[in-house]
Structure 1
Amino acid sequence: MSVKIRLKRFGKVHAPEFRVVVTDSRAKRDGRVIEEIGRYVPTRHPSLIEIDSDRAQYWLSVGAQPSDQMFKLLTLTGDWAKFKGDKDAKSTVKAPEPKAKFERDASKKSVLLPKTEKKAAPAAEAAAEPAADAADEA
């Protein structure tokens, strides 16, 4: 059985996401897989590349052939160089920068009413009605 490491597409129509999978070379692109070893999201900036290095090394060592795109991704993560014998290979994948924490501008006023005012007004009206009914009955 010829084994390949390739991408399995999922996601929406114009928002592709991929799983890095090990599969039989004769299987369909999105068909049955042997093992999922990572994921790739090209629409994020920088692209998200997560590959389980140990599993990738194992499958390469038993003869799995990477597809063209997977060869490029394995080169970026340093897994291909490790497979070829370079023990000091480093990943060149950029980590995403953390987003800045949102801080509200104190000079601007809220356009929403506080929750207590919304609930307090109907409650006051409801309390006034039973009191008026009790006064009429007496």
Structure 2
Amino acid sequence: MAVKIKLARIGKIREPHYRIVVADARTRRNGRAIETIGQYHPKENPSRIEVNSERVQYWLGVGAQPTEPVRNILEITGDWQKFKGLPGAEGRLQRPEPKPSKKELFEAALAAANEEPGVEAVTPKKKGGKKAEDKEAKAEKDAKAEETKADKPEAEQKSGEGQA
């Protein structure tokens, strides 16, 4: 029985994910697999490649033939060079930088907040919202109205004295 190591596609449209599977050479692309030995996610940056190296070495040792895309993946991980006895068995697989945990991010933000010397809010705090603003505006209008009322009687008194 001819056995191949090939990619079985999973995932959505325009969002491919592949399983690296060992299957009979006569089966369909997504047909029945003997064993799943890895995953390949090409859309991530850098591409995520997970391969069970021990199982790959076993299947290559018993005569399984990798397809071209799988062979390229195995060269990146270094499994193909290890099988063939070539130099470069460590591979050239790029690992993404580990994401900091939420706890670490929180602690860093707290430390940054405590180190800043009295930085205040950009916008001033409101002590009553619109009500406080309305009261201030009303007080200003009342003050102006009182000034104009105070000015009118004086003018009327002066004009009234001349007529009487």
Q: Give your verdict on TM over 0.5.
A: yes
Using the alignment, how far apart are the partners of 2:40 and 2:65 within structure 1?
18
Q: Which is further off, 9-18 or 88-97?
A: 88-97
Using the alignment, how far apart are the partners of 2:122 and 2:38 within structure 1?
45
- Structure scoring higher RCO (CA < 8 A, sep ≥ 6) equals 1
Please list every run of 5 or more consecutive structure 2 residues that lacks an aligned counterpart in the other structure.
114-120, 124-164
5 Å-filtered alignment, 1:33-52, equals: 33-52=33-52
Aligned-residue sequence identity (percent) comes to: 50
The one-letter code of the counterpart of 1:84 is K
Paired residues, number: 109
Using the alignment, how far apart are the partners of 1:21 and 1:108 within structure 2?
57
Question: Is the aligned partner of 1:67 residue 2:67?
Answer: yes
TM-score, scaled relative to structure 2: 0.60
- The offset of 1:98, in angstroms, is 2.5
Structure 1: 4+ residue segments shifted above 6 A = none
Residue number in structure 2 paired with 1:95: 95
Please list every run of 5 or more consecutive structure 1 residues that lacks an aligned counterpart in the other structure.
110-138
Residue number in structure 1 paired with 2:30: 30
- The offset of 1:97, in angstroms, is 1.2
Using the alignment, how far apart are the partners of 1:33 and 1:2 within structure 2?
13
SS class of match (1:56): helix
